[in-house]
Amino acid sequence: MASETTKSHPYHMVAPSPWPAIGSLAALVMAFGGVWYMQEGPIWLFVQGVLILLWVFYRWWRDVVIEARSGVDHTDTVRHGLRMGMVLFITSEVMFFFVFFWAYFNATVPFLSGVAHDVWPPEGVVPLDPWSVPFLNTVILLSSGATVTYAHHMVRLGDNKRAARWILLTVLLGLIFTGFQAYEYVHATFPFTGGIYSSTFYLATGFHGFHVIIGTIFLIVCWFRARAGHFTPEVHVGFEAAAWYWHFVDVVWLFLFASIYWWGSLSYFTPA
C-alpha cells in the first residue's frame, strides 16, 4: 500500500498518545482532591493531581515541539489549523472573563440589576488608587506588549538570539506585574470575604493574574526555544500563540483597569 510510506495530503496523522488519558485522570484526581480540601480535608491529593497534570502538559507539548521540529508533520495547512485553534481558544477565554465583568457591572449599574448599589464602592470599602500601582502596572503590561511584538520582528528576521533577549524582557515585565499585583493584594484593606466588592475585585483580577502567570510560562518556554534556535522567519507557531495570548491578557487588563480600578473608584476619589 502506497500509504504505508507516503502521505498524499497535508494533514498530520498523530500517533496514539498516553497523555490525554493520563491528563484526564489527573483532572479527576484534582477534582476529588479539591473537594476533599474544601470539605476541610488535607490538600495533598489536589496537589498530586496538579503535579500529574503539569507533568502531562510538559510531556504532551514536548511531543508537539518534537513533531514541529520533524519538518514533516507541521505543514502550512497544519500550522494554519494550529493558529485557528489558538484563536478559538482565546475566544472561549474572552467569554470566561465576560462573566466576571457581568457580575461586576450587575453590582454597579442599576440598569442591569434591581440590586445594583447606589454607592460604589460600597460604604466602608477603601478602594485602591488607580493612578498609583494599578496605573504603573498598566504601563508595565502595555510595554510588555511592545517588547513581545519587537521579539516577533526579530523572529521574522531570523534572529533567534535577539528574539530571546526581547522575550526575556517581556517575561521580566510580566513577573514585575505579577509581583506588584501580589503586593496590592497583601496591602488591600478590603478582605477577600468582604462582600460583593471584594468578590468581583478579587475573582476578576485574580483570574487575570492567573492568566498572566500562564502567559509568562508560555513565554519562558518560547525563550528556551528561541535560545535553541527553534524559530524560523516562516515557521514559529508556538511563539505566535504565546504572543497572541500575551496580547489577550493585556487587553483584559485594560478593561479591568478602566472599569474596576478607575471607573469603580471614581466616586470615592472625586466626591461630588
Partner 1 sequence: MMADQETAVAGGHDGGHDGGHGHHPTGWRRWLFSTNHKDIGTMYIVLSLVAALVGGAMSFWIRLELLDPGIQFNVFGAGEEAAYFQFYNVLVTGHAFIMVFFVVMPALIGGFGNWFVPLMIGAPDMAFPRMNNVSFWLLAAALVLLLVAAFTQGGPGTGWTIYPPLSNADFHPGAAVDLGILSLHLAGASSVLGAINLITTIFNMRAPGMTIHRMPLFCWSILVTAFLLLMAIPVLAGGLTMLLTDRNFGTAFFDAARGGDPVLWQHIFWFFGHPEVYIIIIPAFGIVSQVVSTFSRKPIFGYLGMVYAMVFIGFVGFVVWAHHMYTAGLDVDTRAYFISASLVIAVPTGIKIFSWLATMWGGSIDFRVPMMFACGFIFLFVMGGVTGVALANAGMDIAFHDTYFVVAHFHYVMAIAAVFGMFTGFYYWIGKMCGRQYPRVLARIHFWSFFIGVNVVFFPQHFSGMAGMPRRIPDYPDNYWGWNYVSSIGAFITTASTLLFFFIVWRTLTAGEKVPANQWGEGATTLEWTVESPAPFHTFEELPDMTDKQADE
Nearer to partner 1, 63 or 159 (CB): 63
CB of 6 to partner 1, least distance (A): 5
The owner of cell 507533568 is 55
Identity of residue 54 = L
Burial class of residue 197 in the structure, from the number of CB atoms within 10 Å of its CB (0-12 exposed, 13-18 middle, 19+ buried) = buried
The only residue of 47, 55, 57, 81 in contact with partner 1, by rule CB under 8 A = 81
- Rounded CA gap, 16 and 195, in Å? 49
Within a 13 Å sphere around the CA of 53, how many CA atoms are in the beta-carbon half?
A: 14
* Grid coordinates belonging to 42: 488535607
Q: Is 11 in the site for partner 1 (CB under 8 A)?
A: yes
Segment 86 to 105, residues that bind partner 1, using CB under 8 A: 88-89, 91-93, 95-100, 102-103
Segment 102 to 121, residues that bind partner 1, using CB under 8 A: 102-103, 106-107, 113-115, 117
Number of residues that bind partner 1 (CB under 8 A): 74
Interface with partner 1 by CB under 8 A: which range of 144-152, 193-201, 210-218, 250-258? 193-201
Nearer to partner 1, 87 or 142 (CB): 87
Q: State how far the alpha carbon of 63 is from the alpha carbons of 16, 19, 43, 57, 66, in Å.
A: 11, 10, 31, 10, 5
Q: Is 159 in the site for partner 1 (CB under 8 A)?
A: no
The only residue of 53, 163, 196, 252 in contact with partner 1, by rule CB under 8 A = 196
* Grid coordinates belonging to 118: 447606589
Segment 224 to 243, residues that bind partner 1, using CB under 8 A: 234-235
The only residue of 118, 186, 187, 193 in contact with partner 1, by rule CB under 8 A = 193
CB of 36 to partner 1, least distance (A): 8
The only residue of 42, 195, 254, 267 in contact with partner 1, by rule CB under 8 A = 195
Nearest to 245 by CA among 181, 180, 174: 174
Q: State how far the alpha carbon of 79 is from the alpha carbons of 12, 217, 235, 238, in Å.
A: 10, 22, 8, 10
Q: CA 267: distance to chain centroid?
A: 31
CB of 259 to partner 1, least distance (A): 16
CB of 64 to partner 1, least distance (A): 9
Nearer to partner 1, 124 or 179 (CB): 124
The answer to whether the CB of 30 falls within 8 A of the CB of 49 is: yes
The only residue of 50, 59, 69, 75 in contact with partner 1, by rule CB under 8 A = 75
